Chains A and B, each alone.
Chain A
């Protein structure tokens, strides 16, 4: 049951987070002093949830991996400007959200320029690979497509909160730090996002009940 799980796990998770934060400060300090290995350790820690968030925006695995690479490179270049009073976790997510939005904008512009996959110079435009995973059955693929479209149709501010919570696994406090808004705002946006999705995905929700 969810409540029992919450009761048992939350204090442990909180303690683990505190320990990680303590150690993370040292790693950040070392990275700021130019220690590349320390930064690699930080990157490995935050890699998977960051890629998940990128996928929530871009819906393409290769592009998400590429986006995560670029975000880490950006963060490495700017690590000296990072102040320790903020959390590295939320700082990286902020960079990722902005980076994904830039990519989507560029993607839109590119597709507006030409539907052709090659431009005049012969360079190939990057087209997201939406080929379904052969391991998934057709119904699953269709369901995922509909859910993705429903999420994309959400208002931007609701979508951001939903992705950071469900895919990034951030707490309300971390989301509020990332998006620079109040926790109450996060709470209400998340609820509205879920309610809108429940209406939009009524058929799938009923199946799961």
Chain B
């Protein structure tokens, strides 16, 4: 005979009990309450019914034949193919190992590759100072040379002379005068051909 006003259990706990996710002492307590409280038992049975409705309605029967054909198909697709793959996949095959690395390693490898390619490009210019100016200035010169030439008497902190080795008469020399100031760049420069 059930009590008319027994203790009730939280329905979330009933849901956990249904899934077998309660501690042993909680389980004993819940079972005791379920034996006494009609209301809790009803709530539990509703949860149980929903669970079995979902399982029944969404369950598909996979026959042994279907399992066997699934396994055979998967084995076939897992096997590395050699001749029937397009050429590009064999060309890119080495990269699949790179893709398995973590993104930090991939980034480090990309930066290293960039530096390896870029350093020889920079090395073809022999620059005494102001390496970052070379891209701006050397476009018309086959072998440009930069010279640091401070001129204390002039109103500049330094002058860069750009000469061309092939230009024996120094007719095509170019100079850049640089002066420190308070601008956001920290300096101004003027360019004279």
Whether the pair A6, B27 counts as a contact (CB closer than 8 A) is: yes
Interface residue count on the B side (C-beta < 8 Å): 41
Quick one: closest A residue to B54, CB to CB? A166
Among the stretches B74-82, B121-129, B131-139, B146-154, the one at the interface with A is B74-82
Whether the pair A3, B51 counts as a contact (CB closer than 8 A) is: no
Quick one: closest B residue to A205, CB to CB? B49
A195 with B54, Cβ < 8 A, contacts A39-B78, A205-B49, A208-B49 known: no
Whether the pair B77, A198 counts as a contact (CB closer than 8 A) is: no
Whether the pair B12, A162 counts as a contact (CB closer than 8 A) is: no
Whether the pair B57, A143 counts as a contact (CB closer than 8 A) is: yes
Interface residue count on the A side (C-beta < 8 Å): 53
Whether the pair B100, A81 counts as a contact (CB closer than 8 A) is: yes
CA distance A52 to B18 in the complex (A): 20
Say if the beta carbon of A98 comes within 8 Å of chain B. no
Say if the beta carbon of B180 comes within 8 Å of chain A. no
Residues of B within 8 Å of A201, CB to CB, are 50, 53
CA distance A167 to B56 in the complex (A): 10
A6 with B53, Cβ < 8 A, contacts A40-B78, A48-B62 known: no
Whether the pair A191, B11 counts as a contact (CB closer than 8 A) is: yes
Say if the beta carbon of B45 comes within 8 Å of chain A. yes
Residues of B within 8 Å of A44, CB to CB, are 71
A55 with B46, Cβ < 8 A, contacts A40-B74, A69-B70 known: no
Say if the beta carbon of A179 comes within 8 Å of chain B. no
Residues of A within 8 Å of B78, CB to CB, are 36, 39-40, 73, 76
Whether the pair B60, A52 counts as a contact (CB closer than 8 A) is: yes
Whether the pair A40, B71 counts as a contact (CB closer than 8 A) is: yes
Whether the pair A187, B54 counts as a contact (CB closer than 8 A) is: no
Question: Which residues of B, 25-66, contact A by the 8 Å Cβ criterion?
Answer: 27, 31, 42, 45-60, 62, 66
Nearest CB in chain B: distance from A205 CB, A = 5
Whether the pair A56, B58 counts as a contact (CB closer than 8 A) is: yes
Whether the pair B50, A52 counts as a contact (CB closer than 8 A) is: no
Whether the pair A205, B53 counts as a contact (CB closer than 8 A) is: yes
Residues of A within 8 Å of B47, CB to CB, are 194, 198
Say if the beta carbon of A165 comes within 8 Å of chain B. yes
Residues of A within 8 Å of B59, CB to CB, are 52, 167
CA distance A198 to B70 in the complex (A): 36
Whether the pair A51, B62 counts as a contact (CB closer than 8 A) is: yes
Residues of B within 8 Å of A78, CB to CB, are 100
Residues of A within 8 Å of B96, CB to CB, are 77
